[in-house]
Structure 1
């Protein structure tokens, strides 16, 4: 039988998160703790801006790199937040969400067979993006006993002569850790000396708690081997609108990504770009209330989980995720998550979905109501203490 499917991409795995999510849609009365989608509605002022933009004719193509007004807004945002100077024409490309920004970054930097180091555990979608870019996946570990923070020694010990790109995710999905920028600079400096690229996935930059301090790698102005990938999806609860951006001080990389954009999507949706300008201009009015609510939900989750025997976790300093160690109950997180879903109607992400380093864990998203969090943890506890487990 003739196969019309590319051999290269036929082995791309389905996300273990989506596997649970799709299965949960067939069931009733499910508490969803698996998906990282804020339950807040997008701020009304952004929706109104987008609607008005469409009525005013912002429905045509823009520059492949995005509206210059949006690129200027992004540059101004980084100047305010991190004190860095960016040239909106030379350093910024607007993308259709961070996923497209990551794909652009990988396509622009990889040759066939190049290795990409990703965190383990780490964001599952890195793998298909790397495979579609003809790269090979390699992993470095982040450990619970080190609060899931990135250890430069561990990362650099995994570098081989074939390593071309190192992906850093900070704040970290799925563990919620925040790694200090001075520690990450060790990785950037070494990569620079070896002709490697560092892609810094910073989509959760604004979702940090307590005394945690996040600093973007954009502050490392001396290095042109850094690509920042960011998004408005999580910060402004705009996940379905697919708007993000890529930043690099390497003008040549930005030129290449802009050129590639033409063949991929031409440009990010124009009215959404206009909405992004409004969102960035109202950051201080719109974002802090959401962060306070996420912190409240995190604290509820910590309180509820603390009452369950034989589980452990690191309190997340950022994101809206927590990795929960259930290894005393299972060595097969995928089967565990499926049984939990069908028997007790709670959807969680199996740890194995994020890499072999998080087998024996589950990821819980607290981007949902406190009622769902309390009820979800109660059902998890019931499941753990049931004979049928």
Structure 2
């Protein structure tokens, strides 16, 4: 039998992130600045809520949409933080992380040949999920000169009669960029003018430093055309619990729920019970603020250190990534990352893994201990002295 693999799947290369993790896993003393995962353990009050749920025997499926308690908690949090209001019955769906929410959104809205504008560098799954759903990703690069913020002019220039949606993610992975309110409002105006659906991945919404996050559906006229993707993995250090959510207009949400019903059934029950506590307990909120303060301290250390050793790095204002340029070394981002891993056992991710605009940069996660970041910077300095 020939052509056993679909062209859609075959056309998507393997994740550029996983390859470096696989190599690093064979080296016992690697300092990883690669993985995009909090190094904190899930706060105790949230863990205890999950344990209590198990002890009560809450181990069955929930509603396809998620427990009403979890949906109410998400709705209350979005209203409190951003003043945007969703009906927990018809406009909210609890998912297996944001990754599932992204898959559901693409599958629900795209027909073969529909185009989706995807500013890059971006999370590695964005263009892949567009392709898997039969759509055509239209990448547009962002640049350090505009703090890696896509502009309304760039988006409008990329629109064609086949354009159906815009997929954006701010705070951004891998750059750490945060979209200003003014620029986001300009983008919203373009989306309304051209009747685009906007998919806004706001998984890092709480992890901002000295600036405010702009919630896209909270902008005037945007709730009815925005699919908001969010979750607990990053803000609450709950990656392994696999709890995300999507908030969207009722018609879009119903289509996403239909795909969810036949694909997943429901998000993990224990994770949802813990999630209610994460979103509503004052102790959990205190833990979030403590983690943000720790990330900010590490952010300042790594940005200052990278610039001092000759790796130009703009100041990220969100998430937990620095995105320094390695162009002064004369090496490509792949060569730099490979050399640093082999010679100094420090793992970073080549920028080209994140699409156009990433060439010549590497992603350094500061979601690791302060002391390990200090050690990594010393090792990177040695590497630079040998190759500078």
Name the TM-score class by shorter chain. over 0.9
Q: Kindly state the Cα deviation for residue 183 of structure 1 after the two structures are TM-superposed.
A: 2.1
The question of whether the paired residues in 1 share the 8 Å contact of 2:140 and 2:356 is answered with no
Q: Kindly state the Cα deviation for residue 358 of structure 1 after the two structures are TM-superposed.
A: 1.4
Tell which deviates more after alignment, 144-153 or 293-302: 144-153
Match of 1:264 in 2: 263
Match of 2:277 in 1: 278
The question of whether the paired residues in 2 share the 8 Å contact of 1:33 and 1:347 is answered with yes
Match of 1:348 in 2: 348
Q: Deviations over 1:266-295 (max 9, x none)?
A: 010111111100000124222100000000
Match of 2:27 in 1: 27
Q: CA RMSD in A?
A: 1.5
Instruction: Could you tell me which runs of 5 or more consecutive residues in structure 2 were left unpaired when the two chains were aligned.
Output: none
Q: Deviations over 1:325-373 (max 9, x none)?
A: 1111135211221121111101001011111311111110000011111
The question of whether the paired residues in 1 share the 8 Å contact of 2:151 and 2:187 is answered with no
Matched, 1:219 2:218: yes
Tell me: CA distance 1:76–1:221, structure 2 relative to 1, closer, same or farther (3 Å).
farther
Q: Which runs of 4+ in 1 moved over 6 A?
A: none
Match of 1:253 in 2: 252
The question of whether the paired residues in 2 share the 8 Å contact of 1:120 and 1:140 is answered with yes
Q: Name the CA distance, whole Å, in 2 between partners of 1:24 and 1:209.
A: 30
The question of whether the paired residues in 1 share the 8 Å contact of 2:141 and 2:356 is answered with no
The question of whether the paired residues in 1 share the 8 Å contact of 2:116 and 2:138 is answered with yes
Q: Kindly state the Cα deviation for residue 130 of structure 1 after the two structures are TM-superposed.
A: 1.3
The question of whether the paired residues in 1 share the 8 Å contact of 2:326 and 2:336 is answered with no
Match of 2:179 in 1: 179
**Secondary structure of the equivalent of 2:364?**
strand
Mapping of residues 40-79 of structure 1, within 5 Å: 40-79=40-79
The question of whether the paired residues in 2 share the 8 Å contact of 1:330 and 1:336 is answered with no
Match of 1:288 in 2: 289
Tell me: CA distance 1:128–1:121, structure 2 relative to 1, closer, same or farther (3 Å).
same
The question of whether the paired residues in 2 share the 8 Å contact of 1:116 and 1:165 is answered with yes
Q: What is the TM-score of this pair, normalised by structure 1? A: 0.95
Q: Name the CA distance, whole Å, in 2 between partners of 1:302 and 1:85.
A: 37
Q: Kindly state the Cα deviation for residue 204 of structure 1 after the two structures are TM-superposed.
A: 0.6
Q: Name the CA distance, whole Å, in 1 between partners of 2:271 and 2:72.
A: 16
**Which structure shows the bigger proportion of residues in helix conformation?**
2
Q: Kindly state the Cα deviation for residue 101 of structure 1 after the two structures are TM-superposed.
A: 0.6
Q: Kindly state the Cα deviation for residue 78 of structure 1 after the two structures are TM-superposed.
A: 1.1
Tell me: CA distance 1:335–1:306, structure 2 relative to 1, closer, same or farther (3 Å).
closer
Matched, 1:154 2:154: yes
The question of whether the paired residues in 1 share the 8 Å contact of 2:15 and 2:353 is answered with yes
Q: Kindly state the Cα deviation for residue 46 of structure 1 after the two structures are TM-superposed.
A: 1.3
The question of whether the paired residues in 1 share the 8 Å contact of 2:164 and 2:196 is answered with yes
Q: Deviations over 1:58-112 (max 9, x none)?
A: 2111111111111111111111111222211121111100010111111111111
The question of whether the paired residues in 2 share the 8 Å contact of 1:141 and 1:155 is answered with no
Match of 2:244 in 1: 244
Q: Deviations over 1:191-240 (max 9, x none)?
A: 23323210011011000112x11121121353311111001000010111
Mapping of residues 1-389 of structure 1, within 5 Å: 2-210=2-210, 212-220=211-219, 222-223=221-222, 224-248=224-248, 250-282=249-281, 283-309=284-310, 311-386=311-386
Instruction: Could you tell me which runs of 5 or more consecutive residues in structure 1 were left unpaired when the two chains were aligned.
Output: none
Q: Kindly state the Cα deviation for residue 2 of structure 1 after the two structures are TM-superposed.
A: 4.0
Q: Deviations over 1:304-328 (max 9, x none)?
A: 223213x211111111001101111
